[in-house]
Chain A
Amino acid sequence: GAGVSQTPSNKVTEKGKYVELRCDPISGHTALYWYRQSLGQGPEFLIYFQGTGAADDSGLPNDRFFAVRPEGSVSTLKIQRTERGDSAVYLCASSPDVRDTQYFGPGTRLTVL
């Protein structure tokens, strides 16, 4: 079946701009996660949704970052006033339930000039 998909695959923006990154989880998966992977590092947790609600957003670095999942399926990660330090690969994962294996999408590479 179809895996987790993320769009766009690459995003180049200028410092100060607003960006939205989209994640389509595996159909039927109730849990959805966002991670950020900087060059040479492992992924770092940002936020986790169970259904429509953000169950844990402790990994969001500051209030410029926000994520939504209004219908319990597709999720959008929103970054305001982007900074060069936001440049990274943003990974989305989904799992059938909170205690299940997380399956990752291919990621969105964000470059802030």
Chain B
Amino acid sequence: AQSVAQPEDQVNVAEGNPLTVKCTYSVSGNPYLFWYVQYPNRGLQFLLKYITGDNLVKGSYGFEAEFNKSQTSFHLKKPSALVSDSALYFCAVSLSYNTDKLIFGTGTRLQVFP
């Protein structure tokens, strides 16, 4: 069965420092990988996705993610964190041959301290 793991419930980082939010996946085919961010009382906002091609994907608000097939990972990164980046981040996967549903991780709360 397909699954997504976000091993950290919370990540704390100081403003200006680099941040990493981890995601690993388990699928039986070629994955499509996504990152979404959720602010309080708001829906999920799309950040970036990996479909094929370059393993380093750049997205909104300066975020990027690296697809690593051998480690089945898709970690979210940003070189310099902002306080306004504080939110709940979700990694999701769908299958290239069955893209009707996204399977989400449990989310990681990012807290950026001034």
Contacts and interface: CB of A to CB of B under 8 A. Distances in A.
Interface of A: 4, 31, 33, 35, 40-45, 48, 50, 55-56, 59, 91, 93, 98-99, 101-107
B104 A104 contact: no
A88 B35 CA distance: 22
Given A48-B100, A55-B100, A56-B101, A101 B46 contact: yes
Nearest to B92: A42
B99 to A, nearest CB: 5
A43 to B, nearest CB: 5
In which size bucket is the chain B interface? 20 to 34
Interface in B56-114: 90, 92, 99-107
A43 B45 contact: no
B101 A48 contact: yes
Contacts, number: 54
A98 B41 CA distance: 27
Contact of A102 (B41, B42, B102, B107): B102
A108 to B, nearest CB: 10
Nearest to A92: B43
Nearest to A6: B43
B101 A45 contact: yes
B49 interface: yes
Contacts of B103: 45
B25 interface: no
A43 B44 contact: yes
